[in-house]
Amino acid sequence: MVKKDTSEENIEENIEENTEKKSGDGYVEIKMGGGWYMTISLAHSDRFEKEYVELAKERGGVKRSRFNLNPTHVRMLGEALIKFADDNGL
């Protein structure tokens, strides 16, 4: 049985390896496998005149599922995901 290396250095390398960042334009793309990508982008609603963060699952340039998040909650979501991963050994 192979032990999974979960050191912080290894995790950071995997994130950098699987993430394509375009600096400063509010867009991150994370390769998930099987042709799927998770995209995180800043968007603006003309109807409500507010900004939001869109999390989407994308394949072949087509967004299959989306979730819109208030920008004030982004940091809380990130911290909650890190805590969840730590608590569950991910």
pLDDT in tens, 32-80: 888 899 998 888 888 888 898 999 999 888 888 888 988 889 889 889 9
Tokens of 58: 């994308």
* Tokens matching residue 41: 């982008």
**Phi then psi for 8, rounded to 5 degrees?**
-60, -40
Within a domain: 18: no
Residue 60 lies in a domain: yes
**61 within some domain:** yes
pLDDT digits (tens, 9 = 90+) for 6-36: 444 544 444 444 444 444 578 888 898 888 9
- pTM of the shown model: 0.63
The CATH code of the domain that includes 70 is 3.10.450
Q: By C-alpha distance, which of 28, 75, 33 is closest to 54? A: 28
DSSP 42: E
Residue 4 lies in a domain: no
Domain count across the chain: 1
Domain encompassing residue 52: 25-87
